Amino acid sequence: MEVRCRAPGKIILAGEHAVVHGAAAIAASIDLYTEVRISLHPSGQENELLELDLKDMGLNLSWPCSQLKEVLGDCSADGSVLVSCTSEKLELLSGLVAQKNMPQENVQLNSGLYAFLFLYTSILGYKPGKAVVTSELPMGSGLGSSASFCVALSGALIALSEGFSLKTKEKKDQFSFRKNDLELISKWAFEGEKIIHGKPSGIDNTVSTFGNMIKFKKELKTTNPMMPLNSTTPLKMLITDTRVGRNTKSLVSSVSERVLRHPDTMSSVFNAINSISDELALLVESPAEYKVEVSEKEEKLKELMQMNQGLLQCIGVSHESIETVVRTTMKEKLVSKLTGAGGGGCVLTFVPTLLSAAVTEKVISELEQCGFRCFMVEVGGPGVQVFPC
């Protein structure tokens, strides 16, 4: 049996940092994907292995299934029953990965390997098989690469689990997950995210699973602080990866320290960012049938992004590399803002519908001359997708 599953990355359109302090944030999927292909091998053979091929990094790892069972013990291997990774199990997973003597430059992958082993064995048990992973998302840049991996992996594993059947679409050879399956995939992916990040918000795996856009606010008076948004017009963004690493925890802490020093002023900033998120949510769901309406809608979106970037700059999370992108794109009257933690990472530049290809190419060329990497993406597309092989 073999299945291929892919899940998108994400961007934060508005509300980063302020969301930690009670403001709303808007997140959306992008058409850059992580793909996981899993093939199960016949059981009952000698030297059964669980293999992981990380194509983009040239790493091929394997664990004997007998060793996994000996170290991790018996497991229910029921994908329909969600379980969390205990600290004891995490220690066992750490030992299994440590035996591989990962090269120093790949040590940051360890937590992802723990997540892989946990999800695979929890859902499929100790069945021999091979997982091949490829991704279009740069790691550690704030585009949700880890969540995309966990969602694609969980989707493939659920699709291969006993008693599962895919929903056939109208077109031949197209399949999809049912709503309750998507909810289960998102929950399993969140367990993987917890292994990788400790205390994730749940935004990344939700967007990667369901796609489109969501509005997130911790203080929403519902059991689920995430509200789906239905974007009525396609959005294009130029994503610039500054290749500048950032420490998310440190940046979040620095904002919190600024709150302690200037509580009233920072409260006003967060309220302003919350208003931007609220207005953006209404804007993306508002209809725009004619060119004039689309242009007006895009102009409002540009203004909201510009204001949001200014507020993020004033709370201290911008960076010289981010401001370089802002200045470079501003030459062509384009608006940019950081996405995610800031301090480097990625920057969004809104691409209007009527922008010429020549201008786009010129901007990309200038940004690449600065040593940055650029991706043109569509925003708010589908979530996790499955393709039986």
* Res. 197 pLDDT band, cuts 50 70 90: confident
* Res. 349 pLDDT band, cuts 50 70 90: very high
pLDDT at 237: 97
Rounded mean pLDDT of the chain? 91
pLDDT at 172 over 60: no
pLDDT at 384: 96
Cα–Cα distance for residue pair 160/5, rounded to 1 Å? 11
Taking the whole predicted model, whether its pTM rises above 0.95 is answered as no
Cα–Cα distance for residue pair 132/55, rounded to 1 Å? 7
pLDDT at 220: 56
* Res. 167 pLDDT band, cuts 50 70 90: low
User: CATH fold of 2-228+383-388, please?
Assistant: Ribosomal Protein S5; domain 2 (3.30.230)
pLDDT at 221: 54
Q: Are 14 and 308 in contact (CB under 8 A)?
A: yes
Query: Start-end ranges of CATH 3.30.70.890 in the chain?
Result: 231-378
Q: What percent of the chain has a predicted confidence (pLDDT) above 90? A: 73
pLDDT at 106: 72
Alpha-carbon distances, residue 132 vs 40, 233, 325 (angstroms): 12, 35, 35
Token pair 């309750």 in the structure block, residue: 180
Q: Which three-class secondary structure state does DSSP give residue 385?
A: strand
290 versus 339: the higher-pLDDT residue is 339
Q: In the chain, where does DSSP find H-type helix?
A: 65-72, 87-98, 110-124, 145-160, 179-197, 203-210, 248-261, 263-285, 291-314, 320-330, 357-369
Query: Start-end ranges of CATH 3.30.230.10 in the chain?
Result: 2-228+383-388
pLDDT at 174 over 60: no
* Res. 175 pLDDT band, cuts 50 70 90: confident
Mean pLDDT of 44-69: 92
Mean pLDDT of 353-382: 96
pLDDT at 340 over 70: yes
> Parallel, antiparallel, or unpaired for β 2-14 and 385-388?
antiparallel
pLDDT at 201 over 90: no
Residue type, 195: I
Q: Which residues pair with 79 in a beta bridge?
A: none
Q: What is the pLDDT of residues 85-143, one digit of tens each?
A: 999 999 999 999 999 887 777 767 899 999 999 999 999 999 999 999 999 998 888 89
| Catalytically annotated residues | 204
pLDDT at 169: 60
Q: Which residues pair with 29 in a beta bridge?
A: 10
Mean pLDDT of 20-34: 94
Cα–Cα distance for residue pair 387/302, rounded to 1 Å? 37
CATH superfamily of 231-378: GHMP kinase, C-terminal domain (3.30.70.890)
pLDDT at 173: 58
The three-point CA angle 223-226-229 to 5° equals 135
pLDDT at 142: 86
Cα distance between the two ends of the chain? 8
Buried-state track 116-144, b at ≥16 Cβ within 10 A, e below 16: bbbbbbbbbbbbbbbbbbebbbbeebbbb
Question: DSSP letters along 212-275, please?
Answer: SEEEE-TT-SSS--EEEE--SS-EEEEEEE------HHHHHHHHHHHHHHSHHHHHHHHHHHHH
Cα–Cα distance for residue pair 282/278, rounded to 1 Å? 7
Alpha-carbon distances, residue 385 vs 37, 174, 175, 215, 360 (angstroms): 12, 10, 8, 22, 30
Q: What is the pLDDT of residues 222-239, one digit of tens each?
A: 556 789 998 888 899 999
pLDDT at 252: 86
Cα–Cα distance for residue pair 168/96, rounded to 1 Å? 38
Q: Give the range among 136-150, 239-253, 296-310, 347-361 with minimum mean pLDDT.
A: 239-253
